[in-house]
Amino acid sequence: MSVYNSDILVELKEDKSPLTLADKKSNEVITNLLKDTPYPILSEEGKSIPYSERKDWERFWLIDPLDGTKEFIKRNGEFTVNIALIENGIPIIGVIYVPVTDYLYFASKERGAYLVSDHNLEFEFEMQVENSKPAQELKILQHSGDKLPLKKKARPFTAVASRSHLSPDTENYLNTLKEKHGEVEMISSGSSLKLCLVAEGKADVYPRLAPTMEWDTAAGQAIAECAGKKVTDFNTGLPLTYNKENLLNPSFIVQ
């Protein structure tokens, strides 16, 4: 947030996507915290690990230290920090933090999906967990959070789409939804927040028919699936899998 609230210097990576000091510092903090766990780390900012080395990983951390760098640069608040634990190609734990709103989404197969949005939680949490173990910390978070999906309010059929990456194929798909459902409300959002909106129950569907990488979706997929939603390949209907040789995701739909 100190970078966000100052003059943001932007570099361009080889693929012409933007990179800021916040991407680098977030990656450094997260990898330093996770390096003592038993599992290797694959991060967007450290993605050069060859497939020959990672293909035998049974469990590993998959990180996007700053998802939505374009939104970060625009200062619209719609950027996140994504951390997932992958087991045999499947995301089994997902954590998404939204620094500007102080929202925390987290999920595991055993516990379900939760949203913690209490801005007073940080002080309460620090007071209670000073000498506690991680399992106790997680119970405190669960107690303070709302289980997902939230109770659905009366609303039109709602689709969520990217604020920065709306492809012609996505527009065509959204037009078919309008033919099927009549009135379709549209929500635009950046980063992995789009998956979170479906997990919350604020949206019914999120079609992504444009390129994404594995670290963009893994944490959100865990949260959505643990909330009872599906994240599937748009063409095959099969769940997205991770640690492929090519880390590019296929087109997919969340619903």
* Per-residue confidence (pLDDT) for residue 129, from 0 to 100: 47
Closest by Cα among 232, 238, 183, 176 to 208? 232
* Per-residue confidence (pLDDT) for residue 18, from 0 to 100: 86
* Per-residue confidence (pLDDT) for residue 216, from 0 to 100: 96
For each of the domains in the chain, give its residue range(s) and CATH number, in order of start: 10-147 (3.30.540.10), 157-254 (3.40.190.80)
* Per-residue confidence (pLDDT) for residue 13, from 0 to 100: 83
* Per-residue confidence (pLDDT) for residue 5, from 0 to 100: 93
User: Residue 235 corresponds to which amino acid?
Assistant: N
pTM of the model: 0.89
* Per-residue confidence (pLDDT) for residue 120, from 0 to 100: 47
* Per-residue confidence (pLDDT) for residue 21, from 0 to 100: 92
Q: Note down pLDDT in tens along the chain; length 255 residues.
A: 999 999 888 888 877 788 889 999 999 999 999 999 999 999 988 778 999 999 999 999 999 999 999 999 999 999 999 999 999 999 999 999 999 999 999 999 889 999 998 654 554 545 454 555 666 666 767 777 899 999 888 899 999 976 566 678 888 898 899 899 988 898 988 899 999 999 999 999 999 998 899 999 999 999 999 999 999 999 999 999 999 999 999 999 999
* Per-residue confidence (pLDDT) for residue 85, from 0 to 100: 97
